[in-house]
Amino acid sequence: MAVWAIGDLQGCYEVTRRLLDAINFDPAQDRLWFCGDLVNRGGQSLETLRLVHSLREHATVVLGNHDLSLLAVGQRTLEEQRKVNPDLQRVVMADDAHAMLEWLRSQPLFHVDHELGWGMVHAGLHPSWTIEQAQRCARIVEEKLHGKQFQRLLRNMYGDKPAWNPQLGGLEQCRAIINIMTRMRYVTPRGRIEFEAKTAQGEQPAGLYPWFAVPGMVRRDLKLVVGHWSTLGLNITNGVHSIDTGAVWGGRLTALRLDSESPQIVQVAGREVPPELRAAKLATSANAKLPPKGVKRTGATRRRRRGGRGGGAGPRPPQGAAD
């Protein structure tokens, strides 16, 4: 029995398969936690979503910004769907799209397992939120997303405003929670998201902090595993384990074992991409904080991906959510 958390797949099907081989994943015994952004940009989003959907009885998934975008695209007209990038378009046009998207829509934003001692969210939690507050906030959005009014939520979730405050209600409250849980990286000392700052740690504008390192932030006993931030690289700070190591940008795909005493990490090589793209989106060794031991890297031989077409070329959904 092993529980592994896996970083952002982003439609990298072959990479995902290699990682499952590298951790000797056994569906009869093991559990997988996927920290969101299963799809988009990798070119094999359909295959990736089918794989995770087929493993759903053995997997826990939280939704990322790209997963929410896919759900939104799934609700658009055929004509509008034809304008979406080919990677996502293949998903929504597939024969089995309905079953997969209905399953995806039923997934949570935040998952907590007190027995295991871990929580999982795609981007992060507001620096002022306790675990209980975060669970309440997640539930507000999940109730709308899983209910009859989900189309209204998907149509109104885009936009950077308003910033979170406890007085918000309705769709504005949902938007603020979605932005925190699926898009946040740097915040001001008061926890307001700076959406434009996406750089590696140490290169951000003055006065901004990673959401997990804000002075005076709430103390949480639960360890957290998150994805979303490829320029941060593998990073463990204040109990927050950030494991998006940019597989889609030619970095690595990371698995973190959650049910072991010391952090056990297994990585495989990500997708092949042009060097300039790689440099822009990945943590450099200087700013990525790697744990000193227990890191096992396998599958280092980089396999060339045929087809070469990334999913990021087409028009993005209106504003936000695709970052």
Contacts with Mn ion by CB under 5 A: the residue count is: 4
Can residue 64 be called a binding residue for Mn ion (CB under 5 A)?
yes
Can residue 228 be called a binding residue for Mn ion (CB under 5 A)?
yes
Smallest distance from Mn ion to CB 121, Å: 11
Nearer to Mn ion, 111 or 264 (CB): 111
Asked if omega into 162 is within 30° of 0 (cis), the reply is yes
Closest residue by Cα to residue 73 from 315, 249, 308: 315
User: Helix 170-183 to helix 131-146 angle, to the nearest 10 degrees?
Assistant: 110
Take residue 278 and report the two structure tokens written for it: 């790689």
Can residue 11 be called a binding residue for Mn ion (CB under 5 A)?
no
In whole angstroms, what is the distance from residue 153 CA to residue 142 CA?
Answer: 10
**Stretch touching Mn ion by CB under 5 A, among 135-143, 185-193, 200-208, 221-229:** 221-229
**Stretch touching Mn ion by CB under 5 A, among 62-70, 74-82, 93-101, 263-271:** 62-70
Can residue 105 be called a binding residue for Mn ion (CB under 5 A)?
no
Sketch the per residue contact string, 12 through 51, with Mn ion: x for CB under 5 A, - otherwise.
-------------------------x--------------
Nearer to Mn ion, 43 or 64 (CB): 64
Nearer to Mn ion, 66 or 257 (CB): 66
Distance of CA 37 to the CA centre of its chain: 4
Between CA 129 and CA 136, with CA 132 as vertex, the angle to 5 degrees is 90
Closest residue by Cα to residue 299 from 275, 271, 280: 271
**Stretch touching Mn ion by CB under 5 A, among 83-91, 99-107, 194-202, 226-234:** 226-234
Smallest distance from Mn ion to CB 228, Å: 4
Nearer to Mn ion, 30 or 226 (CB): 226
Can residue 65 be called a binding residue for Mn ion (CB under 5 A)?
yes
103 contacts 57 by C-beta, under 8 angstroms: no
Smallest distance from Mn ion to CB 78, Å: 27
Distance of CA 252 to the CA centre of its chain: 14
**Stretch touching Mn ion by CB under 5 A, among 13-21, 59-67, 186-194, 269-277:** 59-67
Take residue 225 and report the two structure tokens written for it: 């595993």
In whole angstroms, what is the distance from residue 192 CA to residue 190 CA?
Answer: 6
Can residue 67 be called a binding residue for Mn ion (CB under 5 A)?
no
Q: What is the DSSP string of 80-100?
A: HHTTS-HHHHHHHHSTTHHHH
Residue corresponding to tokens 């990945």 = 282
- Residue ranges binding Mn ion (CB under 5 A): 37, 64-65, 228
